[in-house]
Amino acid sequence: MEILQSTEEMIARSRAWKAEGRRIGLVPTMGYLHRGHRSLMALLRPQVDVLVTSLYVNPLQFGPKEDFSRYPRDPEGDARACEAEGVDLLFMPMTFFPANFRTQVAVSGITSRWEGALRPGHFEGVATVVARFFGVTQADVAIFGEKDYQQLAVLRAMVRDLAMKVEIVPGPLVRDDDGLALSSRNVYLTTEQRKRALTLHQALFAMQAAKEKSVEERLALGRRMIDCDQLDYLAVVDADSLEPVEQLQGPARVLVVGRYGATRLLDNVELQ
Ligand code: AMP
């Protein structure tokens, strides 16, 4: 596996691959890789000629009071994980944005609720960095986890609206052995917080199983079960538009964010 830290070299490499007609796959990450990230690499590996994983803690998507400076980092462990998953090139840019970068990609509508409402500027940061990653790597296909369900919807909208020629593949949410959704941020949790955090997925699964109950009753059930310091939201939404639904008519999703101290944990499950 090759490791590149220069964005210029990455651009030159991907152009050369393209000229050779190779199919390029991209797994964008912020590092501190776990089995969730690795599952994305494993899913994409058989679909492409060259598999690129990017590792970049994107400052644009963090708010001023968020955890950018203390986001967990383990570049050596990450390189080992990528190698084990058959990644061809690990791209860890030292400098990713050119000087005087002045472009912002903003997806409207689908960003107005949930994470978009609580983290102003977050999805603009995500869409902007991902758009540049698509340009830099010339990816034919890129994979994103359903763990960040709204992010996946936002990026699909961006690709469709701008007719980007990259294909977006979703990767199923991967859980730890105790059921907690895997996240790089789980390392922030104390033992006591982590124990209470298990009520998040337990509530989602109970809501999923309560097939005879209305949406309102399922939400009440979920709220009773969740033990967190602050419930940012618990919502039943249309699986495509992410608008809240009052009755189940088509594919839907339950989205939840609970806070444990300063740590926000996201989870979701499908309904129906
Ligand atoms: P991050 O490093 O948190 O930016 O995540 C990089 C990619 O991994 C995103 O597409 C996430 O949705 C995905 N991801 C993170 N955690 C999980 C998980 N538990 N299961 C599946 N995908 C995940």
Q: 161 and 35, same structural domain?
A: yes
Count of helix runs (H) and strand runs (E) in the chain: 8, 9
Q: 258 and 211, same structural domain?
A: yes
Residue ID of nearest Cα to ligand 1 atom 10: 144
Read off the pLDDT of residues 39-53 as tens digits, 9 standing for 90 and up. 999 999 999 999 999
Atom of ligand 1 minimally distant from the CA of 40:
22
Residue ID of nearest Cα to ligand 1 atom 22: 145
Whether 177 is covered by a domain: the verdict is: no
Residue 183 binned pLDDT confidence (cut-offs 50, 70, 90): very high
Residue ID of nearest Cα to ligand 1 atom 5: 29
Domain boundary among 171, 194, 212: 171
125 lines ligand 1 (CB under 6 A): no
Whether 178 is covered by a domain: the verdict is: no
Residue 36 binned pLDDT confidence (cut-offs 50, 70, 90): very high
Atom of ligand 1 minimally distant from the CA of 146:
12
Whether 179 is covered by a domain: the verdict is: no
Give the number of domains in the chain. 2
Read off the pLDDT of residues 107-157 as tens digits, 9 standing for 90 and up. 999 999 999 999 999 999 999 999 999 999 999 999 999 999 999 999 999
Q: 80 and 26, same structural domain?
A: yes
C-beta atoms surrounding 156 within 10 Å: 16
Q: For the sheet containing 24-29, what is the strand order?
A: 2-6, 89-95, 50-55, 24-29, 141-145, 167-171
Annotated catalytic residue 37: yes
Vertex 135 angle, CA 147 and 160, to 5°: 60
Return the best residue to mutate from 34, 43, 147 for the ligand 1 pocket (most ligand atoms within 8 A of CB): 147
Average pLDDT score over the chain: 98
Read off the pLDDT of residues 8-34 as tens digits, 9 standing for 90 and up. 999 999 999 999 999 999 999 999 999
Domain of residue 36 covers 2-171
Candidates 233, 238, 231; CA nearest to 253 is: 238
